[in-house]
Structure 1
Amino acid sequence: MHMPFKQVLLTMVIVQTMHTYAETTEYQLPAITMQAIRTNSELLSSPASIQKVQGATVQNNANVNLSEVLQGVAGLQINNRENYAQDLQISMRGFGARSTFGVRGIRMYVDGIPATMPDGQGQSSNIDLNSLDHIEVLTGPFSSLYGNSSGGTILAESKEGQGKDSIQVGLNTGSHHKQQAYIQLQGGSEQFDQPAYMISSSYFDTDGFRDHSAAQKVLNNAKLTWNLEDGSKINWIMNYVDIDAEDPQGLNREQWQANPKQVNDRTNTYNVRKEIKQTQTGLTWTKPLNDQQELHSMVYLGNRQVVQYQSIPKAPQANARHAGGVIDFDRDYYGADFRWTGKKILPNTTLIAGVALDRMVEDRKGYNNYDQTGKFGVKGDLRRNENNTLWNLDPYVQASWQFLPKWNLDAGLRYSNVHYESDDHYIVTGNGDDSGSTDYQKLLPSVAVGWKILPKLYAYASYGKGFETPTFTEMAYPTLATSGINFDLKPASSDTYELGLKSQNALGQFTFAVFNTITKNDIVPDDANAGRNTFRNAEQTLRQGAELAWQHQLWRDLKLSASYSYLDATFDADIAATTTKPLIEKGTYIPGIAKNQVFTRIAWQPKQGFQAGLEARYMDKIYVNDINSDAAPSYTVVAANVGYLWVNRDWKINSYARVDNLFDRNYIGSVIVNDSNSRFFESADQRNFNIGLSVTKAF
């Protein structure tokens, strides 16, 4: 591994020295339990890179974007596009960095329900941050426990109702006429036949930082919880999101430098925008059979509708095989996960066996983005009509064995398989039948050995095989001028090796990991032109890196946290030139990935009274294309916040004020990889503020 080993060695020595010092000091820190690898292990005894973010500790934010909560998670690159039509750009250890919209390469779950489709396409827009309890972020080899698109996993969990019935109303407002109003009802239950409840509803709108970037979002989330007399637990979750957002698209370097607020198309000819509606519900049920065995079941179903207007001129659409400039799909999806857990059936061993089923049926259409009069930005003639179906049925097993007092062995095996089928109903002169089907499957092993060196010092070594299929969206366009399904795209497979060290003592909580990932047939962007993004396979890529995270309570309610992420991501083999792309040489950096990231936060957070915080974030430069001819510059931004929390019996009033980009830096928030028009850059917001007030009354 071409790693900064001197820095790595120095870090390990520092951590060990801190731990040795702490051994002479009495301390008592709470144990942090993790659910991500399903064995309910503590942070210090889990042989995987897991970080847990408690929603209650992330205060004085507008709670609109997931980036507000997950800033500073080591190994996670989360970029705010300032574009609500395209969601956040999220990647883990470089997986997912190619995404021009939505989330790819990593799996997301909300209250145990997948927010990622069977093909690996996901979104974060349905996570209700106002009712968030915590988020676990799993990176590295053990992400393969979740199957396809296993470059990493994000698991968000909503609060459960507890205590007295209460109502909370809140309002946030800020720059660019940004505002969010929300209401939340919650209450616990002492009766076995009556549920605890958490019901949250919010409305958000903004004029947007950039021209033509206004957005409106309605988000409703409800969670009912029954703790039954036999010890079993039922959660019923309902979620609805409705988004209407304008899309300013990317800018070239000259446009960004001249005016970072401007829209891609100055005359706004195409009125590029997106409309999203999603409704889903799910049920989880956990039932103990006895002291040693437990059953867990999860079922869900949902519907997602998207209409997207793109900036495609008439000329490309004149091709008989072009799918038009309007995407319109209606998607039904459902699934289930059934799992058995047995503890100490074998000595010092936890066993898990389960099966996951997911299915998606999509009615996808395409239309011209102009009418008979030539007006753009409207739905015109039909140009695509197909039914797409994909599903997976993944059995999996896990085992955790403490074979010596200070040593444990964890292993998992999942058979991941994804089945694609497309039935083409748009068959006209010049556009034949593009129906087809394909199957992808892979056996995904993972294994780790952990060693408790000292009571509060834990080391591990792990390996896992990852698997990532192309999404239906990535397969949707074989070339820039054609429709149909690109069944020539191959799935990517990866091998990841990781070494980790964890410590928790009087000087804080430390997690450290180094890793090496080799990926075959990595899915990378080919071209992005005229609103169409096409993809191809790279023979081999290499990702090597190190991650360090530290949290410490300095004094009373004064807390400090910091993280550092290093990622060297390169093409590990030449990619042959094509008619539109030059030769990509071995050793070239994979675009869309920052080599270095640093984050630090200091916060005064008492349970009531005055609060304040200061944050700083550094992002290294990010190459925008395969030949590394241009890059978004590195930047450092600072944010500050103050607030006051007043509590008096059944009343609670929380107020705050926050300034982001305190020193008004002009920087790039995210990039569009390989855009053929060199419109790579999506501008970040300049200095901006928001203030908020919430009032809670218990009954």
Structure 2
Amino acid sequence: MIVFSRSVYGIRLSLLFFTLFFGYIAKAQQDSVPVIELDTVVIEAARLQVSKDELPASVSVKEFGAVQQNLQQLTANDYLQGIPGLFVLNSNNFAQDTRISIRGFGARSAFGIRGVRLVIDGIPETTPDGQGQVDNLNLGLIERIEVLRGASSSLYGNASGGVINVSTKSDFTRDFVELSSAIGSYNFQTFQAIAGIGNKKSKTVLFANRTTSDGFRANSRFETNQFNLRTKWKTGDKTGLNFQLNYTDSPIAQDAGGITQEDVDMDRTLARDRNVDFDTGESVRQFKTGVALQWRPSKLNVNSFVYYSYRDFANKLPFSFGGAVDLVRNYWGHGSNASFDFFKDKGLLTAQVGYELASQNDRRTRFINDLGSLGDVTLQQNEIFQNLGAFAILQSKIKKWIFRGGIRYDNNILEVEDTFLENGDASDRIVLNTINPSVGLRFKVDKNQSLFANFATSFETPVLSELSANPNDDGGFNRNLNEQTSTTFEGGYTYSKPKFRLETTVFYIETEDDIVPFELEAFPDRTFFRNAGSAERFGVEVATVFWLNNTIRFNASYAWSRFTYNRFEIPLGNFNGNRLPGIPEHLAFLQGLYRSQKGLVIRWNMQYRGDFFANDSNAVTEASAVISNLSVSQKLSFDGWNLSPYFGVNNLFDTQYNDNVRLNAFGGRFFEPAPGINVYGGLRISL
């Protein structure tokens, strides 16, 4: 692991590079330039749409488009860096998927995303029980990301400690075809094609991608193939349809596993022996389709959507009994909402009411993992999650004051149907009813400054796979695992002028029954979950963006997170007052972006993440680290078509740190080392 002195060394190198490189560019661009005005940004994730400067909540927006042309497009972390309070781990283990946390919500995840709601093009990507994955997210299509950094259950219900709303490419001025290919370290290869076809009534975007890599560590090879179709129809002057279809086939994603600090010091590329012996990894096939309707009569705005998803998932874990899993998931959902204005000519009051239905069925079968071969069945059950939610939002503007309030009721039914009766019938049923309110107020001090404050609650049920991880090992649900609830208080200040913006937020969150992962000596390599009594989270988040001129932009962010257990005692220890594992107390980001009128794009960024703990006892620490990345691209135009070569260096200063830390792992197997300095390069052709 990197030590503090080396972190300071990395910071100094990064700042020196910033000073010399962007100072040189700034000197070359010192001629007068037009003032850059900040556009009005409408936040779609807030449901009842409102501009960013009128929303009494913490929200971050990132725009991409042409600027993403020099990104490697391998991991979602490239798109989420720099959002204060958002922390990403596990970008390089494609069997476990990217772990995203917002203000600590989601940090517990053993795989995938928990506690954070993911929405793509208006259609929920998070399952009804709160599971989310980005393995089927087409990174090359991303144009915009909105992140609500706070409790949002009054808007989205279960698992809404934060919301990530992704918008993909849909609008273009002329038909186009874009082809690209890239290679990189660890035998990374990718091939991608995007096409846009449209007329006055409709626009269709087609996307296909294939990516393979041997991975930095042994036993970490992966392959993924993706196809995406999105069509927008203007069916009338006041109506429109948005259709999307996505298919992902990932036949292999190996899991190198967590290793001890001694193993890390000996060889950072090592895979855990048992992971190799048991052929650990996963394969996934997923199909998803959805349709959204927008209807805009003069006094009413109506939105409605319906979607269906099928996921066929198989994985092997590094143990024998139940160590091979086959999961077939079907889930669907439908929702509608209507917005209307009172006193529309004065814009004084706007309201929205809506409902959502969702149903999920997981058919889970476990087998003996006989050193990579399937043995006898050890568990077979159907796990069902059904949700009915109804919500209302009210927003009012009176002079300099903006008020916003919301409330949502959710009825959740969780069932397990045990179809493997050799060890008894473990069928079960749980009903959870919740009501979650939110209220916020923003005051515009003047045209450049505003203040806001809000109060909100959220809840998070254990996902079906967590409930089914029963320490009794007899099937059914773990009835000792309860839902997690939280209450959030936050306030903020915004200062905005042409070419400069500053946002600050202070928050306090109380949580009850935090869901935390752990492992048992009796069941090595299996992850179980339990509740901590209560915890409190204090935090400060700062974000700023500064345009030096119309070609150079700097943005920076910082988050201080002091998250501690208030009451948490188990037979093995008392953790009262300990910090929550998996979240650094200090997280800072700095980026410089140069974009010339002649098509040259240079991006340099640096992230500092402070040390954080790997377990609840706070006995094991992951040291602080500085990670820097550099990418360059040049757009060349030739009589109707464009050629864009690009090149990038990840982990520029070869920092040694761990890409993932497995929380509360047994036997000291906490660490998954990150790659050292690595490179990629490619070519994009646009016709």
Q: TM-score range by the shorter chain?
A: over 0.9
Residue 435 of structure 1 corresponds to which residue in structure 2?
427
The answer to whether the aligner puts 1:661 opposite 2:651 as a matched pair is yes
Paired residue for 2:455? 463
- Once residues 198 and 327 of structure 1 are traced to their aligned partners in structure 2, the CA distance between those partners, rounded to angstroms, is 36
Q: CA deviation at 1:480?
A: 6.5
Structure 1 distance, partners of 2:36, 2:273, is 60
**Distance (Å, rounded) in 2 between the aligned partners of 1:289 and 1:610:** 44
CA contact (8 A) 2:35 2:499 kept: no
Supply the AA of the counterpart residue of 1:384.
L
**Equivalent AA in structure 1 for residue 329 of structure 2:** R
Matched ranges for 1:330-341 at <5 A:
330-341=328-339
Partners in 2 of 1:390 and 1:72 — Cα distance? Answer: 35
SS in 1 for 2:45: coil
2:467 is equivalent to residue 475 of structure 1: yes
Instruction: State which of 35, 38, 41 in structure 2 corresponds to 1:29.
Output: 38
CA contact (8 A) 2:45 2:148 kept: yes
Measure, in 2, the Cα distance between the counterparts of 1:343 and 1:503: 29
**CA deviation map 1:56-85 (0-9, x unaligned):** 233411112110111111110012341100
Distance 1:120 1:175 in 2: 35
In structure 1, the residue matched to 2:490 is: 498
CA distance in 1, matches of 2:573, 2:471: 18
Residue equivalent to 2:289: 281
1:39 to 34, 39, 48: 48
Q: Tell whether the 8 Å contact from 2:426 to 2:474 is kept in structure 1 after alignment.
A: no
Matching residue of 1:76: 86
Mapped to 2, the partners of 1:505 and 1:143 lie a distance apart of: 33
Q: Is residue 446 from structure 1 mapped to residue 457 from structure 2 by the alignment?
A: no
Q: Aligned to 2:155, what secondary structure does the other structure show?
A: helix
- Give the superposition deviation at 1:358: 0.9
- Is 1:103 the counterpart of 2:97 in the alignment? no
Residue 569 (structure 2) aligns with? 576
**More displaced, 602-611 or 446-455?**
602-611
CA distance in 2, matches of 1:650, 1:409: 50
> What do residues 528-553 of structure 1 show as CA deviations (whole Å, max 9, x unaligned)?
65231111111101111011111121
Aligned residues of 1:584 and 1:626 also touching (Cα < 8 A) = no
- Structure 2: state its 5+ residue gaps: 1-33
Deviation at 1:455, TM superposition (A): 0.9
Name 1:385's counterpart in structure 2. 380
Q: Which amino acid aligns with 1:349?
A: L
In the other structure, the counterpart of 2:13 is none
Distance 1:615 1:480 in 2: 47
2:501 is the counterpart of 1:509: yes
Q: What displacement does 1:228 show?
A: 2.5
Does the C-alpha gap of structure 1 residues 72 and 480 become closer, same or farther in structure 2, counting only changes over 3 Å?
Answer: farther
- The whole-number CA distance in structure 2 between the counterparts of 1:511 and 1:189 is 41
Q: Is 1:81–1:682's contact at 8 Å kept on the other side of the alignment?
A: no
Compared with structure 1, are the counterparts of its residues 608 and 38 closer, same or farther at alpha carbon in structure 2 (3 Å cutoff)? farther
Contact persistence 2:195–2:206 (CA under 8 A): yes
CA distance in 2: counterparts of 1:399 and 1:653, whole angstroms: 49
Structure 1: tracts of 5 or more residues without a match: 1-24, 318-323, 371-375
Alpha-carbon distance in structure 2 between the residues aligned to 1:267 and 1:54: 39
Question: Do the aligned partners of 1:200 and 1:220 also contact (CA within 8 Å) in 2?
Answer: yes
2:195 maps to which of 185, 188, 193: 185
- Pairing partner for 2:254 from 229, 246, 269: 246
Tell me, what secondary structure is at the counterpart of 2:369? coil
State the one-letter code of the partner of 1:352.
Q
Q: Would the aligned equivalents of 1:144 and 1:467 in 2 still touch at CA under 8 Å?
A: no
**Which of 578, 589, 607 in structure 2 is aligned with 1:588?**
578
What is the CA-CA distance between 1:583 and the residue it aligns to?
Answer: 1.7
Q: 2:182·2:190 contact (CA, 8 Å) conserved in 1?
A: yes
Distance 2:84 2:96 in 1: 24
Aligned AA (2:64): G
Residues 141 and 497 in structure 1, CA contact (< 8 A), matched pair in contact too? no
**Structure 2 counterpart of 1:220:** 227
| Matching residue of 2:142 | 132
The alignment covers a number of residue pairs equal to: 648
| Displacement of 1:185 | 0.7
How far did 1:309 drift?
0.5
Q: What's 1:535 paired with?
A: 529
Indicate if the aligned counterparts of 2:36 and 2:498 stay in contact, CA closer than 8 A.
yes
CA distance in 1, matches of 2:206, 2:547: 33
Contact 1:44 1:504 in 2 (8 A): no
Residue in 1 that maps onto 2:316? 309
CA–CA separation in structure 2 for the residues paired with 1:256 and 1:27: 48
CA distance in 2, matches of 1:584, 1:607: 60
Q: Which moved more, 1:658-667 or 1:521-530?
A: 521-530
Deviation at 1:394, TM superposition (A): 0.2
Distance across 1 between alignment mates of 2:531 and 2:570 = 13
Secondary structure class of the residue paired with 1:531:
strand
Mapped to 1, the partners of 2:313 and 2:233 lie a distance apart of: 34
Is contact 2:329-2:363 (8 Å) kept?
yes
8 Å CA contact retained: 1:618, 1:637: yes
**Match for residue 4 of structure 1?**
none
* 1:259-309 per-position Cα deviation (integer Å, ceiling 9, x unaligned): 11100117821110101111010001100122x211100100010011010
Q: Which runs of 4+ in 1 moved over 6 A?
A: none
The code of the aligned residue for 1:657 comes to F
Change (3 A) 1:607 1:490: farther
> How does the TM-score come out when normalised to structure 1?
0.90
Structure 1 match to 2:477: 485
- Greater alpha carbon shift after TM alignment, 655-664 vs 498-507: 498-507
- Equivalent position of 1:159 in the other structure: 169
595, 602, 607: which is aligned to 1:612?
A: 602
1:21 maps to what in 2?
A: none
Residue 174 of structure 1 is matched in structure 2 by: 184
TM-score, structure 2 as length reference: 0.92
Aligned to 2:58: 49
- Deviation, 1:368, is 0.5
| Partner Cα distance (2:152, 2:446) in 1 | 24
Q: Distance in 1 between matches of 2:174 and 2:548?
A: 33
Between the aligned partners of 1:527 and 1:482, the Cα distance in structure 2 is 17
Distance 2:499 2:176 in 1: 38
Query: Taking structure 1 as reference, are residues 89 and 234 closer, same or farther at Cα in structure 2, changes over 3 Å only?
Result: same
Q: CA deviation at 1:668?
A: 0.8
Deviation of the 1:143 alpha carbon: 5.3
User: Which segment drifts farther, 461-470 or 45-54?
Assistant: 45-54
Pair 1:673-2:669 in alignment: no
Separation in 1 of the partners of 2:625 and 2:236?
A: 55
Q: Distance in 2 between matches of 1:141 and 1:330?
A: 31
Which of 91, 110, 131 is residue 121 of structure 1 equivalent to?
131
Deviates more, 1:52-61 or 1:551-560: 52-61
Letter in 2 for 1:522: D
Is the 1:511–1:549 Cα contact (8 Å) retained in structure 2? yes
Would the aligned equivalents of 2:36 and 2:550 in 1 still touch at CA under 8 Å?
Answer: no
Deviations 1:632-663 (A, max 9, x none): 11100111122111234521221111001111
Match for 1:421: what amino acid?
A: E
Return the offset for 1:345: 5.0
1:585 CA drift (Å): 2.7
Could you tell me whether the CA contact under 8 Å between 2:323 and 2:368 is conserved in 1? yes
CA distance in 2, matches of 1:623, 1:175: 30
Structure 1 position 589, deviation (Å): 0.6
1:270 corresponds to 2:278: yes
Contact 1:330–1:362 (8 Å) recurs in 2? yes
CA distance in 2, matches of 1:353, 1:144: 12
Per-residue Cα deviation, 1:594-644 (whole angstroms, up to 9, x for no partner): 111011110111354322121111011121111011011110011112211
**Distance in 1 separating the partners of 2:630 and 2:129:** 40
